[in-house]
Amino acid sequence: MDILEHFRHTDALLDGHFILSSGLHSANYLQCALALQQPTDAARFGQAIAEHYRDTDIDTVASPAIGGLLIGFAVASALGVRFIWTERQPGEMTVRRGFTLSAGERILAVEDVITTGGSTRECIAALESRGGRVIGAASIIDRSNGTADVGVARIALVEMDVPTYKPEACPLCASGDTAVKPGSR
C-alpha cells in the first residue's frame, strides 16, 4: 500500500502553493479526513498501525477528537481492544462521555496526523490524569519528519518533511506563483 499515493488520489494530499490556516505558505496541503472516507481504507490504515503493536500489551486505544476518531477506532478494531477519546472542552482536552480508566491501564494514543504533537500531548495528559498509562503513540502521517516529541515512544506510517514559509520569504511566491486557500479552487 502506497500511503501517499492513496492520499494524493483522494485529494487528502494536494501539491501546489497553499495558504495554510496559520497564514504560512506551503507546497503541500494535507486533509486526512479525505483519505479515510471509505471504511475499507480506514481499516487498512488501522491494520497497518496495529501491526506495530502485535507484541505489545495494550488495553485501550485513545484518540483526540475529532481528527483521531476514525483512525483510532480502526486501530482498536484491528487490535481487538476498546476505543475511547478525549475532546476539547472549551480550551482544555478532557475525558468525557462517562469513559473511565483503570489505574495503570495500558493505552495507545492514536492520531491521524502529527504536526507538532500538541494534541497528542494534551490527549496523553488527559488520560494520565485519570490514571491511565500511555505506553505509545501512533499516527498515519508524521509531518514533523520525526522531530515531534510527545513524551512516549511514537511511530508513524509515513514521515513527511513539509516546509512552510512566511509569505514574504516564500520561494513559490518569489517565483511569481500565486498562493491559494485549499478548497477555493
Q: Residue 56: which residues within 8 A CB-CB, separation 6 or more?
A: 108, 135, 136
| Residue 21 or 40 having the CB closest to Zn ion | 21
Among 18, 25, 79, 119, interactor with Zn ion by CB under 5 A = 25
| Residue 22 or 40 having the CB closest to Zn ion | 22
| Per-position b or e across 90-127, b if 16+ CB within 10 A of its CB | eeebbbeeebebeeebbbbbbbbbbbebebbbbbbebb
| Residue 158 or 173 having the CB closest to Zn ion | 173
- The closest alpha carbon to 28, from 185, 172, 174, 176, belongs to 172
Site string for Zn ion, 119-158 (x = CB under 5 A): ----------------------------------------
Among 130, 172, 180, 182, interactor with Zn ion by CB under 5 A = 172
Q: Is residue 170 part of the contact set for Zn ion (CB under 5 A)?
A: yes
Q: Single out the segment in contact with Zn ion by CB under 5 A; choices: 3-11, 17-25, 70-78, 80-88.
A: 17-25
| Residue 55 or 168 having the CB closest to Zn ion | 168
- Quote the cell numbers at residue 127: 488520560
Neighbours of 25 (CB within 10 A): 22
- The rounded distance, in Å, linking the Cα atoms of 178 and 173 is 6
| Residue 108 or 170 having the CB closest to Zn ion | 170
User: Which residue is nearest to Zn ion, using beta carbons?
Assistant: 170
Q: Which chain residues interact with Zn ion by CB under 5 A?
A: 25, 170, 172-173, 179
